[in-house]
């Protein structure tokens, strides 16, 4: 059974606003994931574009494009639906972001690690 890992206070995320980055171990390697709020729900993904394995954010925590409707890769402009991670346009060509399971409870956001993406190594 997974242990819940605290990411941030729920009010640290605003709809279509800045995301919170956090360290993970993805497939045995150190990586970064992020959580954003969209449609009043938190969504988390591995911070790795489906087009080219690079981090998405423009500057730290800036994942949404200007309308706040899509997540956008700063490098090549790939667009992703924030609630599904599916490619919505650009060079990602049907790709998808790797989702992480998060829950919001007691005004806090928690991540539930799984077999492929786990807590960072000590």
Q: What's the pLDDT band for 1 if we cut at 50, 70, 90? A: very low
Would you call 7 helix, strand, or coil by DSSP?
strand
Tokens of 87: 């490619």
CATH code for the domain defined by 5-117: 2.102.10.10
Question: Model confidence over 17-33: pLDDT tens digits?
Answer: 999 999 999 988 999 99
Q: What's the pLDDT band for 122 if we cut at 50, 70, 90? A: low
Beta strand spans in the chain (E): 5-9, 20-26, 29-38, 41-46, 71-72, 79-80, 87-89, 99-105, 108-112, 117-118
Average pLDDT over the chain reads 93
Q: What is the mean pLDDT of residues 53-66?
A: 93
* Distance separating alpha carbons of residues 91 and 14, to the nearest angstrom: 28
Q: What's the pLDDT score for residue 116?
A: 86
* Distance separating alpha carbons of residues 120 and 122, to the nearest angstrom: 6
Q: What's the pLDDT score for residue 2?
A: 57
Would you call 10 helix, strand, or coil by DSSP?
helix
The answer to whether residue 96 scores a pLDDT higher than 50 is yes
Nearest-CA neighbor of 97 among 13, 33, 17? 33
Q: What's the pLDDT score for residue 77?
A: 92
Tokens of 78: 């790939």
């Amino acid at each position: 059974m997974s242990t819940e890992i605290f990411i941030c206070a729920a009010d640290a995320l605003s709809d279509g606003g800045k995301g919170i980055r956090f360290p993970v171990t993805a497939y045995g390697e150190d990586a970064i994931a992020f959580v954003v709020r969209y449609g009043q729900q938190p969504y988390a993904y591995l911070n790795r574009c489906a087009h080219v394995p690079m981090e998405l954010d423009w500057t730290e925590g800036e994942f949404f494009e200007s309308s706040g409707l899509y997540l956008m890769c700063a490098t090549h402009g790939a667009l992703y639906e924030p609630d599904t991670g599916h490619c919505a346009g650009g060079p990602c060509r049907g790709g998808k972001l790797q989702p992480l399971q998060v829950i919001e409870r007691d005004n806090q956001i928690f991540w539930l690690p799984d077999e492929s993406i786990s807590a960072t190594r000590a």
